Amino acid sequence: MTKAISPRSRKVRILATLGPASNSVEMIAMLYEAGADAFRVNMSHGDQESKVAVIAAIRSLEKKYGRPTTILADLQGPKLRVGKFTGGKTVLETGATFILDRDKTPGDATRVELPHREIFEAIEPGARLLLDDGKLVLRVTEHDMDSITTLVVVGGALSNSKGLNVPDVVLPMAALTPKDRSDLAFAVDQGVDWIALSFVQRPEDLAEARKLIGGRAALLAKIEKPAAIERLEEIVEACDGVMVARGDLGVELPPESVPPLQKRIVEVSRRLGRPVVVATQMLESMIVSPSPTRAEVSDVATAVYDGADAIMLSAESAAGAWPIESVAMMNSIGEAVERDPTYGARIHFTVVSSDPTTADALAEAAKNIAATVDAAAIICFTSSGSTARRVARERPSVPLMVLTPRIETARRIGLLWGTHAVHTRDVNSFEDMVAKAKRMALRHNIAKAGDRVILIAGVPFKTPGSTNVLHVVRIVGDELKGYS
């Protein structure tokens, strides 16, 4: 039997990563009830076969709760790693010379294999190489196509196959590896709603993924490379959504530069009307502790105040000891921030100017009219979801109910700020639109008898991109009579 779920009172969305601690049907349902609005499936871990059951478990929530579910498949992306060492590890001394070369012989304290030809092609003297998540720092002194000689700026222990970051150059490598292409094909065949592309450096990196997706899912760009910052607006324009992936961004850039960059990425994404997710280490201590640090709580709150569409849990919900508590804590922080009387003003610090289109003008007008007439909600009819994105970009003070005949659209909207998506039959006339809006507002506890609601839609109906109607209606007490 379907368990009715009222709209979240919280407008920021919570994206929870699933993993060993949380990938059962029962745990996924508990995470949803604790506040998770969408689920991330990390393609870096496990095989495709294991993901089939996880995706099916997420979709089973739709029958249980009568709500669309949202699934994001996160592709691993290219992983740069050094080779192996004699004995499995070594120690690099600060000030020493260390060489990375094409020789497969196990390495030592003086050299190791680097099995990535692209780095030899792009590297320049003076560039930094960061090893093991930035714990060790090398600076290139000279190079050719077979070896890169470096000075060890920050030394330390180094073991087999540790990761390598190259923050100072744009590498001539595709954003999609063969594994990514296979995982992407699998994910869209399984019907996921969003594909997250890792290590985007330039807008061109998105083109191949967009082609392979073929319109079957939305494309999200993870911003985690300094090169991506240089072409940020172009990248945001070329994708459907953005993630501030602070893990690798914080490795390749000084830690103190990440907070202002986070604000910049959120601002650009909001201005261009793309949902933006803030991710990585948000409640990191809750991997092992039932309570977060006060600094972590402030970090999450800052993302909410900035107007991010979604905030994400990584290992906290995927592999930690307290996955349900982590989601519940993030939910509580979001609700507390949004109760702050100053919240409405703070999320509008970002100036969002409407594009010179009828649809954008109506979206802005819907927000303003809702505030002026004290409406209970904005209700938009959409096929593609573009109308919902336009209204959500305005960050209205009232709930946004999105009615759509396409289940794919209803599911993708799960990452969009302040939205409550409903999959329902399309309308055929203006009168039908008004009647359905009233019924759905009552049925989903968006409004009550006597309330005003704002309707926004396109006429003729069933025509994507035709948003041209804004209508204010009042709900009376008998709107549900005669309907089951």
Instruction: Answer whether residue 427 shows pLDDT above 90.
Output: no
Residue 340 has pLDDT above 80, yes or no: yes
Residue 478 has pLDDT above 90, yes or no: no
- What pLDDT, on a 0 to 100 scale, did the predictor assign at position 358? 86
- Considering only CA atoms, give the Rg of the chain: 24
In the predicted model, what is the mean pLDDT of residues 188-206?
A: 95
- Higher pLDDT: 481 or 305? It is 305
| Contact call for residues 179 and 76 (beta carbons, < 8 A) | yes
Q: 280, 382, 404, 409: which is the annotated catalytic residue?
A: 280
| pLDDT tens, residue by residue, 411-421 | 999 999 999 99
Residue 481 in this model has a pLDDT that exceeds 80: no
Given a cut of 60, whether residue 233 has pLDDT beyond it is: yes
Q: Compute the half-sphere exposure of residue 231: CA atoms within 13 Å on the CB side of its CA.
A: 17
pLDDT in the model for residue 482: 41
Do 390 and 363 contact (CB within 8 A), yes or no?
yes
The percentage of the chain sitting over the pLDDT mark of 70, rounded to a whole number, equals: 96
3-state secondary structure of 49: helix
Confidence of residue 465 (pLDDT cuts 50, 70, 90): low
pLDDT for 108 equals 96
Distance CA 413, CA 271 (A): 18
Q: Does residue 428 register a pLDDT over 50? A: yes
Q: How far apart are CA 35 and CA 324, in angstroms?
A: 9
Residue 6 predicted with pLDDT over 90: no
For the ranges 243-247, 301-305, 357-361, 384-388, the lowest mean pLDDT is seen at: 357-361
Active site residue 280: yes
Among 11, 222, 367, 390, which one carries the catalytic annotation? 222
Q: Looking at 8, 10, 11, 40, which residue is catalytic?
A: 40
pLDDT at residue 5, rounded to an integer: 53
3-state secondary structure of 452: strand
Please say if the pLDDT value at position 477 is more than 70. no
Q: Measured between alpha carbons, how far is 455 from 436 in angstroms, rounded to an integer? A: 11
Please state which of the ranges 32-36, 135-139, 347-351 shows the lowest mean pLDDT: 347-351
Tell me if residue 222 is catalytic.
Answer: yes
Band of the pLDDT at 348, cuts 50, 70, 90?
Answer: confident
Whether residue 433 has pLDDT greater than 60: yes
- Residue 44, pLDDT > 60, answer yes
Provide the pLDDT for residue 1: 38
pLDDT of residue 150: 97
Known catalytic residue: 94?
no
Q: How far is CA 61 from the centre of its chain?
A: 20
pLDDT, the chain, mean:
92
pLDDT greater than 50 at residue 4: no
pLDDT in tens, 203-228: 999 999 999 999 999 999 999 988 89
Angle (CA) 301-303-306 rounded to 5° is: 110
- H or E element, residue 403: strand 400-404
Predicted model pTM? 0.91
Q: Which of 312, 317, 324, 307 is nearest to 280 (CA)?
A: 312
Vertex 15: Cα angle to 13 and 19 (nearest 5): 160
**CA-based nearest residue to 221, from 279, 305, 165:** 279
Q: Which of 81, 139, 181, 439 is catalytic?
A: 81
**Over residues 420-436, mean pLDDT:** 91
In angstroms, the CA 435 to CA 473 distance is 10
Residue 176, pLDDT above cutoff 80: yes
Is 117 among the catalytic positions? Answer: no
Confidence band for 480, pLDDT divided at 50, 70 and 90: low
Contacts of 422 (CB under 8 A, 6+ apart): 68, 401, 402, 403, 404, 410, 440, 444
Split at pLDDT 50, 70, 90, the class of 484 is very low
